[in-house]
Structure 1
Amino acid sequence: MVNHSVIEKLTLEQIMSERFSRYSKSIIQERALPDVRDGLKPVQRRILYAMNKDGNTYDKGFRKSAKSVGNVMGNFHPHGDSSIYEALVRMSQEWKIREPLIEMHGNNGSMDGDPAAAMRYTEARLSKIASEMLRDIDKDTVDWVPNFDDTENEPTVLPSRFPNLLVNGATGISSGYATEIPPHNLSEVLDALIYLQKHSDATLDDLMQFIKGPDFPTGGIVQGLDGIKKAYETGRGKIIIRSKTDVEELRGNKTLIRVSELPYEVNKLQLVKQIDEIRINKKIDGIAEVRDESDRNGLSIAIELKRDVDATGILNYLFKNTDLQINYHFNVVAINKMRPERLSLKEILESYLDYQRLIVAKRTKYDLDKAMARQHIVDGLIKALSILDQVIKTIRASDNRKDACNNLISEFDFSEKQADAIVKLQLYRLTNTDVVELQAEKDKLSADILEYNTILNDKNELNKVLTKEFKDIKKAYGNDRLTKIEAEVEELKISKTITVPEEDVVVLVSHDGYLKRSSVRSYKASEVEENGLKEDDYPIFLEQMTTLQHLFMFTNKGNLIYRPVHEITDARWKETGEHISQTIGLADDEEIMKVMSFKTLKETGKFVISTSDGYIKQTEFDKLTPGRNYRSRPAVFEKLKDDSANVVNVDYLEDANANPNVFIASNVGLATCFELDEVSYSGARSTGVRSMDIRDEEQVVDVQLVEQDDKVGMITQRGFYKNMKVDEVPLASRARRGVQVLKSLKKNPHELVDFVKLEKATDSFNPIRVFTNRRRVHDIMPGDHPVNDRQSNGSAVMDVDAEGTPTSMAVLHPEVVANIK
């Protein structure tokens, strides 16, 4: 007969879906996820069963690991020997397993991530507590299935007389599922089980009176009670695990941070390397040396600090930037009733309790059947001894053993099993003593049978048996908690003094937008003019600062660029530095018009901001503090009403209650003066209030904060300069038209370009630098010019045909350059 193949037409989607489903089910159930009942993956279960079956237990000598691996691979787990050996080694590593199930002689790896020695060199056996995983397995307590080649049977689950899933935890990744279950304290889990047995309606809070949280074999400190509670409630949650550290005082005002416990599964060698790289790269200043001083007495990492440094600050930085502190994410997924499920704490405990009740019931039923079978035999033996002469006579008259059994059954009504036992009875037992022993055995069997029946028929009695066994296990194997639980997650505050070494630097910002910081040594080794800028570029800010200070750069279009000094490009004084457009783009007509430095970002002063279209406002310092995107985008400090308008000045007053006068002038030579209190406070993205009444084609050229006895210096478009007292302009209200401060001319009248408040350095006024539209500069010494009245146009100081038309002016501070140390 010819066999014809049947070809099915299936879509790729159907084929892939069906095949992948089968594959996923296989790796979920047969490889990656633990069973909620015994907390073991198949390879772990097979290792424990095979070693127990082979007699490789705690009360016998060690055997080569290779023998155990070969036994498992040949009989139960037809996969690579490396995966079996890795699973065996992990079950022996006391820094990964809270209660190791394997004892090993030889190198079984280390917390530094070193691999174990090859299996031909190491020896292994089951640990004592592992015997509790396998106890009662020979009493029909678990289901069995054929192994991969049908030559023998293997258990689908181990009796697991303690809750291994919670005690030792689990980690694994499968298709579509992953699990991350932390280890717990054996005593705590058993106490919770005992409580749950008596209080089936127990809440999570009730259970957490016993199970405080994870108990990692490496100790450490767990922070975040809310995360623990959420994980126990939903199967998902996050906690913080922190190393246990102590700060020790050394001679010479030095300190040492001693790390004695690490977070779970942190590689010690990599951690030491992380800390040493921070020291080498000088990410923080203060670590002198880091040493791994671990020995047979325990883990110890020594972080030696330099003299007079903030040990707490450095420790906080290390917590935040190294594995001295890690996040641990619960993902409690296990196989429950043949399906992967995310389980709560109570669900795990309930599933385990149900399983253990079933184990005790099956074991008791096994013991009951065995006791009843023995009782039946004992009854037969007692009866036989009571009619011993007739029994012997019958046996002697029989032809053979089978005939003897048949004769006993027919003549004395013995059962087949009783007759067989009588025939096997040895002559030395035919004494009065043996009758007494048999009667005693019968009495004991009767009592046992009564007890077994009571357990099987009364749930309370079964629970009492289970409770007693839990208490016995706790007494035999319980130990103290290793991990400390802290309710709150500590916020790590890291001072800039820790992350940035304080250093004196010279900071320069140029008119064209270049900025840099140079060491004082580099600055002093060069001429001031050799600043690396282009020929027609010039500094608008030059100051000695520290790397812990802050720089605010205000543009004429109302944008604020912030830079911590330590983030500014470090360059030699003769180098150009970085252009601000490398990180922040500016408009074509936008330029930096004012630069200010601050020691902290917690100043309590205020800014006074003025615009060319006649608006002014006061803004508190904290309204302009930088946001998190300061590196890539500027912040708005002034909202301009018109695209043609500009910010003409930004002043800062340290005293928020200060009330100077506001001196303001327009390009048509009008000026007014009013008190600052008339200007209201408003936020960064506001325009402000009217400062001056200006008409079409007019604009404010500048605004200065002055006192009545101050003087101002003015420059016109024709290159005329004059000094004038502030009190020449009467004090008025805000938003007035103002009075004339230039003499009116019918032909080629003067227009005011800019003015500055004259500042004294010592006995004379600081020089003034005038900038022209040809990128030329002209310096003026105010003391060389008389003080003019309001109707004067001053005197000519510049040849505008040769130097260009003035555009702005600024007060120079030669003492700043001279005072750079």
Structure 2
Amino acid sequence: MTPTERYQDLALEEVIGDRFGRYSKYIIQDRALPDARDGLKPVQRRILYAMYREGNTNDKAFRKSAKTVGNVIGNYHPHGDSSVYEAMVRLSQDWKVRHMLIEMHGNNGSMDGDSPAAMRYTEARLSAISSELLRDIDKRTVEFIPNFDDSDMEPTVLPSRFPNLLVNGSTGISAGYATDIPPHALHEVLDAVLMRMDNPQATVDELMTVIQGPDFPTGGIIQGVDGIKKAYETGKGKIIVRSKAAIEPVKGGKEQIVITEIPYEVNKANMIKKMDDLRFDRKLEGISEVRDESDRTGLRIVIELKKDVQAQGILNYLYKNTDLQVSYNFNMVAIYKRRPTMMTLPTMLDAYIAHQKEIITKRSEYDLQRANDRMHIVEGLIKALSILDEVIRTIRASKDKRDAKNNLISSFSFSEAQAEAIVSLQLYRLTNTDITELRKEEESLRKLINELTGILTSSTKLKNVIKKELAGIRKQFAEPRRSIIEDKIEEITITREVMIPSEEVVVSVTKEGYVKRTSVRSHAASNGQDFAMKETDHLLFEANLNTQHTVLIFTTAGNFVYQPINELPDIKWKDLGQHLSSIVPLEPNETILAVYPFENFDADASIVTVSKYGQAKRSALKDYHVQRYSRAIKTMNLKNGDEMVFAGVMTNETELFVATSHAYGVRFPLEEIPITGLRTGGVKGVNLKEGDSVVSAVMLDPEEKQDLILVTHRGAAKKMKLQEFETGGRAKRGVIMLREIKSNPHRVVAVVSTTGKDEVLLVTAKGVRLTIAVNNLKPVDRYSNGSFVLDEGTDGKVEAVYKKDEPGKEI
């Protein structure tokens, strides 16, 4: 017969909820979170207990790690061997735990994240301080429960004769909970325990007079006492952990940064790679080399700097952008009374003190029972020796051991235990010496019993025992503090100038968008000749600048590119530059309009822009100092079909002259254009006729004597006095600048300003380039059509006009 099948109709949510609840409870209580009393997770506790049981202690030889792992898995922890070995290795890593609980021979990993050698190659034993965690465990001081297969017993907690949770800290992630408890200096924690025992109401402020804060095994500098105090009061808080670094001079007038301590839990190799990547990717120009000189004597990372670089600025940048400085968030969760609890410093200390009181009480009870039992035996032996002849006669007259014991009990009123001790007594013990030894033992036992009774009946004596033993541990194992604590979190300020070596270079930008920086040496070797560019291209901007400066590149799409000089490609004068679109993404028809260099953006200046549809706007120069510049940034919000035709830097200029294709000119004060943000569209600068558009703009300085040069598409050019145009208001149509011709009228290509000695470059549709000296043009009135400098039929129509003395400003 087949057994009857039974089905239960249960909701899926119920089943999954129940199963996950059980799983979560197991993970929280029995895997990922430490116990508040001994600071250990179950796997750690089982490893230490298994090694203790096997006699793999500090006073014995090392044993293969594989033997311990097999023992732990077989007897206490039925999980993967790798997880047990990893937990075992962590307890031996002096950069992970403040006081190693396991000593290991062989490769047990490194700060670089290297894996330890396989467990068959390494050897381990308990450390000296681990014996303090396990001391008195055989005296019924802690509760034991059956192991996973009921074949053995294991402890639920260790006696923990020092506050391991605070000393070594803990980290872990479970279901719904996580914990991050930093390690502390042993002597400070013990002093805090003693203070709390003397004054159970001691506040966090009072406790912090002895326990300064965390003390990481890797040292470092901890900043933020307020964060430490908050964590001690609430269980949560944030501190900054900074590497210990020194700036040292080296030969040749250079400096180097030497790092000797790094933040806790930081992977040294990854941190060094990140720093070297900053150098390789040219995000940090001041570094010439990053070396790891660490050896068995200690950690040492050397960052070599280039000449004339401010080392502190480089260090600040590395603090901000690498793991040379990290934030540490306290999240002090531990299992307290079988529940995950957010622990404050007082509750941690109280949990430990209560645990120690229980341990000492149970130990005293155990020792008292043993002492009383022994006292009973000693009293029986003393009594037997005092009536030795009768005792011997009684034993000799007995049939066997059992009969002898019964006769002793009935004849002399000995107890069962005393009778057993007497009949088991060896003959050599019947000497006079033995009775003396027994009386001494009786006296010492009586003292011990009185002492243990006092401990069990007096809370003061109990406290004194704990204090005395903690003082002994402090004397034996205390080490100097490694981490330095600073009160405030230092604000890191980074300026590009301190990160970039100061170097004079020649920066060039062509009309078609090829940019580069060239060393002064390369430029001088070519005498400024043979500049590499395409035949159809021409030089738009060339200037001697410093690598600490910046250029703003304005485009026809209403954008600007923020380009630090040091990040421009370093290319020889005779080699073609790199196209701007390979540095930042550009729109398909976006072309360069103007280029302006800036040492900084603090000047009281503004950027004036004008669009083809007659919009004009002004924005403060400081708005153009941006932090993120991996793409082109909007400077003028253009309507569909519109494009930017002018961008200029306004300093002393007070007026703007706008020229249109249909030969209208408008002159108005720049103050009529309000200063607005970068993404605005501006205001109407000129009132355009249908079909007309703005072709150029000129900013006017009343202190300078300026003339206007007008060039038409038919190749005509003329010079006009500025007085020909009266200053009016913006948004006007303006006045005519050419005599009207019904057949094939002139269309204005550009109007540029001149002080009399400039040259103007004309570029035609057929690629003809003509440079004209403005001195050769005679001033004419605004109704004149000027004189032809190019033949429209032969040379082609004029498409663009540039002022050669000012290549940074396209008109």
TM-score tier, shorter chain, comes to 0.7 to 0.9
Q: Residues 516 and 571 of structure 1 are in contact (CA less than 8 Å); yes or no, is this contact kept in structure 2?
A: no
- What amino acid sits opposite 1:651 in the alignment? G
Q: Is the deviation greater in 35-44 or in 66-75?
A: 66-75
Partner of 2:337: 337
Partner of 1:652: 649
Distance 1:568 1:250 in 2: 29
Partner of 2:456: 456
Partner of 1:132: 132
CA deviation after TM superposition for structure 1 residue 168, in Å: 1.9
Partner of 1:785: 777
Partner of 1:159: 159
- What amino acid sits opposite 1:300 in the alignment? R
Q: Residues 617 and 689 of structure 1 are in contact (CA less than 8 Å); yes or no, is this contact kept in structure 2?
A: yes
CA deviation after TM superposition for structure 1 residue 592, in Å: 4.4
Identical-pair percentage: 48
CA deviation after TM superposition for structure 1 residue 186, in Å: 0.7
Q: Residues 653 and 699 of structure 2 are in contact (CA less than 8 Å); yes or no, is this contact kept in structure 1?
A: no
Shift in CA distance, 582/675, structure 1 to aligned 2, threshold 3 Å:
closer
Q: Is the deviation greater in 495-504 or in 549-558?
A: 495-504
Shift in CA distance, 809/437, structure 1 to aligned 2, threshold 3 Å:
same
Shift in CA distance, 679/256, structure 1 to aligned 2, threshold 3 Å:
closer
Shift in CA distance, 25/529, structure 1 to aligned 2, threshold 3 Å:
same
CA deviation after TM superposition for structure 1 residue 469, in Å: 1.8
Q: Residues 514 and 576 of structure 2 are in contact (CA less than 8 Å); yes or no, is this contact kept in structure 1?
A: no
Partner of 1:711: 707
Partner of 1:755: 751
Listed one character per residue, the Cα deviations across residues 624-669 of structure 1 (whole Å, up to 9, x for unaligned) are: 33353x4335223x456x7676655333144xxx354444556666
Q: Is the deviation greater in 210-219 or in 685-694?
A: 685-694
Instruction: Please state whether the residue corresponding to 2:251 is helix, strand or coil.
Output: coil
Distance 1:647 1:58 in 2: 80
Distance 1:260 1:95 in 2: 13
Q: Residues 242 and 326 of structure 2 are in contact (CA less than 8 Å); yes or no, is this contact kept in structure 1?
A: yes
CA deviation after TM superposition for structure 1 residue 474, in Å: 0.8
Q: Is the deviation greater in 30-39 or in 742-751?
A: 742-751
CA deviation after TM superposition for structure 1 residue 128, in Å: 1.6
Partner of 1:243: 243
CA deviation after TM superposition for structure 1 residue 330, in Å: 4.0
Shift in CA distance, 93/767, structure 1 to aligned 2, threshold 3 Å:
same
Partner of 1:510: 511
Q: Residues 761 and 769 of structure 2 are in contact (CA less than 8 Å); yes or no, is this contact kept in structure 1?
A: yes
Listed one character per residue, the Cα deviations across residues 458-495 of structure 1 (whole Å, up to 9, x for unaligned) are: 43432332222222211111111011122334444444
Partner of 2:534: 532
CA deviation after TM superposition for structure 1 residue 367, in Å: 1.9
Listed one character per residue, the Cα deviations across residues 245-292 of structure 1 (whole Å, up to 9, x for unaligned) are: 223323332334333223334444555555556666665445555544
Q: Residues 309 and 500 of structure 2 are in contact (CA less than 8 Å); yes or no, is this contact kept in structure 1?
A: no
Distance 1:795 1:420 in 2: 139
Q: Residues 247 and 311 of structure 2 are in contact (CA less than 8 Å); yes or no, is this contact kept in structure 1?
A: yes
- What amino acid sits opposite 2:515 in the alignment? K
Instruction: Please state whether the residue corresponding to 1:94 is helix, strand or coil.
Output: coil
Q: Residues 595 and 808 of structure 2 are in contact (CA less than 8 Å); yes or no, is this contact kept in structure 1?
A: no
Instruction: Please state whether the residue corresponding to 1:212 is helix, strand or coil.
Output: coil
CA deviation after TM superposition for structure 1 residue 360, in Å: 1.4
Partner of 2:481: 481
Q: Residues 39 and 166 of structure 1 are in contact (CA less than 8 Å); yes or no, is this contact kept in structure 2?
A: yes
Instruction: Please state whether the residue corresponding to 1:356 is helix, strand or coil.
Output: helix
Distance 1:387 1:435 in 2: 12
* Mapping 1:604-615, distance limit 5 Å: 604-610=604-610
Distance 1:254 1:699 in 2: 57
Distance 1:20 1:304 in 2: 54
Question: What is the root-mean-square deviation in Å for CA atoms of aligned residues?
Answer: 4.3
CA deviation after TM superposition for structure 1 residue 758, in Å: 1.0
Q: Residues 35 and 334 of structure 1 are in contact (CA less than 8 Å); yes or no, is this contact kept in structure 2?
A: yes
TM-score normalised to the size of structure 2?
0.84
Distance 1:445 1:205 in 2: 45
Shift in CA distance, 248/539, structure 1 to aligned 2, threshold 3 Å:
closer
Distance 1:577 1:234 in 2: 57
Listed one character per residue, the Cα deviations across residues 208-230 of structure 1 (whole Å, up to 9, x for unaligned) are: 33332222222222234344445
Instruction: Please state whether the residue corresponding to 1:462 is helix, strand or coil.
Output: helix
Shift in CA distance, 667/578, structure 1 to aligned 2, threshold 3 Å:
closer
Q: Is the deviation greater in 274-283 or in 232-241?
A: 274-283
Instruction: Please state whether the residue corresponding to 2:720 is helix, strand or coil.
Output: strand
Shift in CA distance, 515/88, structure 1 to aligned 2, threshold 3 Å:
same
Distance 1:402 1:540 in 2: 119
- What amino acid sits opposite 2:776 in the alignment? D
Shift in CA distance, 671/455, structure 1 to aligned 2, threshold 3 Å:
same
Q: Residues 709 and 727 of structure 1 are in contact (CA less than 8 Å); yes or no, is this contact kept in structure 2?
A: no
Partner of 2:365: 365
Instruction: Please state whether the residue corresponding to 1:252 is helix, strand or coil.
Output: helix
CA deviation after TM superposition for structure 1 residue 517, in Å: 1.9
Q: Residues 686 and 731 of structure 2 are in contact (CA less than 8 Å); yes or no, is this contact kept in structure 1?
A: yes
- What amino acid sits opposite 1:99 in the alignment? H
Q: Residues 242 and 326 of structure 1 are in contact (CA less than 8 Å); yes or no, is this contact kept in structure 2?
A: yes
Q: Residues 659 and 677 of structure 1 are in contact (CA less than 8 Å); yes or no, is this contact kept in structure 2?
A: no
* Mapping 1:39-58, distance limit 5 Å: 39-58=39-58
CA deviation after TM superposition for structure 1 residue 314, in Å: 3.5
Partner of 1:809: 801
Shift in CA distance, 551/25, structure 1 to aligned 2, threshold 3 Å:
same
Listed one character per residue, the Cα deviations across residues 312-343 of structure 1 (whole Å, up to 9, x for unaligned) are: 33334444455444444444443333344443
Q: Residues 705 and 755 of structure 2 are in contact (CA less than 8 Å); yes or no, is this contact kept in structure 1?
A: no
* Mapping 1:229-378, distance limit 5 Å: 229-269=229-269, 271=271, 284-378=284-378
Instruction: Please state whether the residue corresponding to 2:253 is helix, strand or coil.
Output: coil
Aligned residues: 802
Distance 2:583 2:284 in 1: 27
Distance 1:288 1:617 in 2: 44
Q: Is the deviation greater in 250-259 or in 697-706?
A: 697-706
Q: Is the deviation greater in 171-180 or in 686-695?
A: 686-695
Q: Residues 648 and 703 of structure 1 are in contact (CA less than 8 Å); yes or no, is this contact kept in structure 2?
A: no
Q: Residues 654 and 699 of structure 2 are in contact (CA less than 8 Å); yes or no, is this contact kept in structure 1?
A: no
Unaligned regions of 5+ residues in structure 2, if any?
none
Shift in CA distance, 176/614, structure 1 to aligned 2, threshold 3 Å:
closer
Listed one character per residue, the Cα deviations across residues 531-584 of structure 1 (whole Å, up to 9, x for unaligned) are: 137x4x655445454544323233456443433344456678665743649954
Listed one character per residue, the Cα deviations across residues 652-694 of structure 1 (whole Å, up to 9, x for unaligned) are: 144xxx3544445566666565655666544445566776677
CA deviation after TM superposition for structure 1 residue 436, in Å: 6.5
Unaligned regions of 5+ residues in structure 1, if any?
none
Partner of 1:143: 143
Listed one character per residue, the Cα deviations across residues 758-792 of structure 1 (whole Å, up to 9, x for unaligned) are: 145xxxx2222345678876543322221123554
Q: Residues 137 and 158 of structure 2 are in contact (CA less than 8 Å); yes or no, is this contact kept in structure 1?
A: yes
Q: Is the deviation greater in 568-577 or in 209-218?
A: 568-577
- What amino acid sits opposite 2:649 in the alignment? Y
Shift in CA distance, 30/643, structure 1 to aligned 2, threshold 3 Å:
closer
Shift in CA distance, 195/788, structure 1 to aligned 2, threshold 3 Å:
same
Q: Residues 76 and 154 of structure 2 are in contact (CA less than 8 Å); yes or no, is this contact kept in structure 1?
A: yes
